[in-house]
Structure 1
């Protein structure tokens, strides 16, 4: 009996010690988008890997899409619990800068960058290109240009995301404006004729597409990689357009109200390590921001030949007007 009670006492003490030790560890809070911590996302592996080396706890709060994350941070202001924001992109930078939310990350530009993009406040961690995905069994003759998809003589059904709540939706808004310019409103009216629905975020749109509710869904040119790696399924492809594809660079930054700035910088540096960069390639299914080994599936997809992008200053100046133009066009 004595030994049993002694053993229980030791177990209780060890458990209590472990709880107290964890309670004393600093906590780094990261605001991110839903798919980052989903069962197929990179978040859980990144969380465990960072906690194993930082002597801290990593708390990831997911808040929908990148636009939703930014809106939440702006709403909370100096009351926010966030130390790091992860999942904004190059199209949201000027908005975040105007909101005066971040401090410089102070991380040196890597010599082995995989693209020409770098910023002192926003650290890039992966990139890709918006594209419309289709099933080759369902669409035998896919469009070869955005104009061909918009004109849509074949009557293809389309699903895309709301530019007010979704980073891909916002990317499409800029993509359309980049290609159509002053004729964007007419183009949106054409698209509306064959739009099944406009969803709040990417997950809902892609899920509906996989259920066969549309011929095309707005996603990324790299999306077929996930089907190849996870399901050995090569039926899904990206339609590559002659005009080019709008580029998205995903970024992370440090909230200026953070009490864990050093830990936040440590986390951002961790995001640039080869093992984490491969996680972004495998689980986020995006191109890593530094040159590193990536799954062979990336060599099996259709590649983008031309990159399109607006400068952040242009986006900040015109975004609200372009969204109003979209709203007006699709409501007619």
Structure 2
């Protein structure tokens, strides 16, 4: 009888322990982040960031994959206050006014004074977590003398084949449109007309365009000055380079933001602090292949010293983009007969 009682007691205690463990797991707060497919890719920043953050937050960080940043904005706009997202991560400077105008974005609590950006950033609703510069990538074995300026690009023989992305579906494509607009202003239409015969393809996204370039369907592909770092570090290959343009290069800043409907604002702000912290920022150069907004004490990887450094950073103010983007895309489509 006593033995039976001991067995029963043991089973009860074991059951309670399992229940407590289960209850603790169930009670972990969930932080839902809408982000891009490139961020959550197996070799991207997302999987590593998830492990690092969950080590400190006692929470369940869940990334929801959306194809691109335009899709992120469209999704939260359609979901409104009932969105499952606590945070959006991966939109850029070209979309911040559109995002802010939804009325869905809350201010974060991160001190942005410590961020290392080439220009001032004071919008407290959007936290920069990396930045980069648009550039044309070439294979120096196949194209030993690429254009070194927009002027040379426009005047190049029409046999030169370039691949760019659609500004309606790709932030890279939109960034290129803004780069051209920043340089040529009201004369951008004429520049598109000159460029049109050289454009081999306008792809939906960056991945498709870059793959076409790697398969030798084009001489130049629109990407980033930091893209060669991937080839040098991962593939030990130095033939892919960015062409330095004397007029300067368009700049992109990627940001994250908290939604006003976030289920746990304290946890959401903790994640934003994490994005601006050393452990996450250390992942950026060799996982997202961009520049971090907090440079590591030991410096960037050595190959970054060999990358193109723009003589000038070109950006159009966010409000100007929001006011004119639709017209500028129409101009692009008309001149390219799309």
Tell whether the structures are fold-level matches, with TM greater than 0.5.
yes
TM-score with structure 1 length normalisation?
0.92
Asked if 2 retains the 8 angstrom alpha-carbon contact of 1:144 and 1:239, the reply is yes
2:329 match:
323
CA distance in 2 between partners of 1:46 and 1:270 (Å): 9
Task: Give the SS at the match of 1:310.
Answer: coil
Task: Give the SS at the match of 2:112.
Answer: coil
2:300 match:
294
Task: Give the SS at the match of 1:110.
Answer: helix
1:306 match:
312
- Stretches of structure 1 that go unaligned for 5 or more consecutive residues are 1-7
CA displacement, residues 228-253 of structure 1 (integer Å, 9 cap, x when unaligned): 11111111111111111111111111
Asked if 2 retains the 8 angstrom alpha-carbon contact of 1:246 and 1:309, the reply is yes
Larger radius of gyration: 2
2:259 match:
255
1:225 match:
229
Asked if 2 retains the 8 angstrom alpha-carbon contact of 1:129 and 1:220, the reply is yes
Asked if 2 retains the 8 angstrom alpha-carbon contact of 1:35 and 1:203, the reply is no
Match among 116, 120, 125 for residue 117 of structure 1: 120
2:78 match:
75
Match among 169, 183, 186 for residue 182 of structure 1: 186
2:241 match:
237
User: Structure 1 residues 114 and 184 mapped into 2: Cα distance closer, same or farther (>3 Å)?
Assistant: closer
Say what the alpha-carbon RMSD is for the aligned residues.
2.1
- The reply on whether 1:108 has 2:111 as its aligned counterpart is yes
- Stretches of structure 2 that go unaligned for 5 or more consecutive residues are 1-10
User: What displacement does 1:20 show?
Assistant: 4.0
CA distance in 2 between partners of 1:21 and 1:53 (Å): 16
Task: Give the SS at the match of 2:242.
Answer: strand
CA displacement, residues 30-84 of structure 1 (integer Å, 9 cap, x when unaligned): 1111110112211100011001110101110121121221111112111211111
2:176 match:
172
User: Structure 1 residues 154 and 28 mapped into 2: Cα distance closer, same or farther (>3 Å)?
Assistant: same
CA distance in 1 between partners of 2:283 and 2:160 (Å): 34
Asked if 2 retains the 8 angstrom alpha-carbon contact of 1:110 and 1:290, the reply is no
User: What displacement does 1:196 show?
Assistant: 2.1
In terms of mean alpha carbon deviation, does 129-138 or 109-118 score higher? 109-118
1:267 match:
271
Asked if 2 retains the 8 angstrom alpha-carbon contact of 1:25 and 1:57, the reply is yes
